[in-house]
Structure 1
Amino acid sequence: MSASQDEIPPPPPPPPSSSQTPTQQTPYTISTIKLPILKKGEYDIWVMKMEHYLAYTDYLIWEVIQNENGPVSITTDTQGQIKVLPPRTTEEIVARERERKARTTLLMTLPEDHLAKFHKMTDAKEMWDAIKSRFGGNDESKKIDTKNQR
């Protein structure tokens, strides 16, 4: 054996000391839970995963989807067109941000070929109900689908 084969590799560097300042430490933990993607025929499983995902990552977003976000200030212009007024209070700003986050989260879970159908919806609860209607079916249609698969 040569001398170079008998050498022991140097030890790894020591871990950082606990004397780090608060700005050097990570201020929050990032979730590693994957967003569940809706797949054909797996609506019931997707709903369970989404409920758990949203309850764990951002419960307020789940509340927006389940209970709606509250009224949006609207007006009608001179041509009879409905216009949504910009938020005026802090509560309205926060409510709009939650609504936008809820819609975006739901859109991110949909298959790409269905995005255009749901993208135009402005309310997360409306989108959730439409997803259920489109992918969930009802008990009668599920019975028919099971018979057709046999």
Structure 2
Amino acid sequence: MDQDSAHMVAASKVPMLKSGEFELWRMRIKQYIWMIDYALWEVIDNGATLPKTAVVEGVEKVMPITSAEDKA
């Protein structure tokens, strides 16, 4: 096994949660999801909302996606 394939195997392992290390695990799982599928992280972070469109004075305008913090 060469160095590049060994690195890929190490990078593809899902971080395991150990008691008392939640904050470290949270950061590592976030980075793992970013590497695998960033669009999935956007859904986790913002919820499953689709961009909304509004027609203002005959012009169609795309409204920004609201985050979970904005909804709260």
Question: Which structure is larger by alpha-carbon Rg, 1 or 2?
Answer: 1
Decide which structure has greater strand share.
2
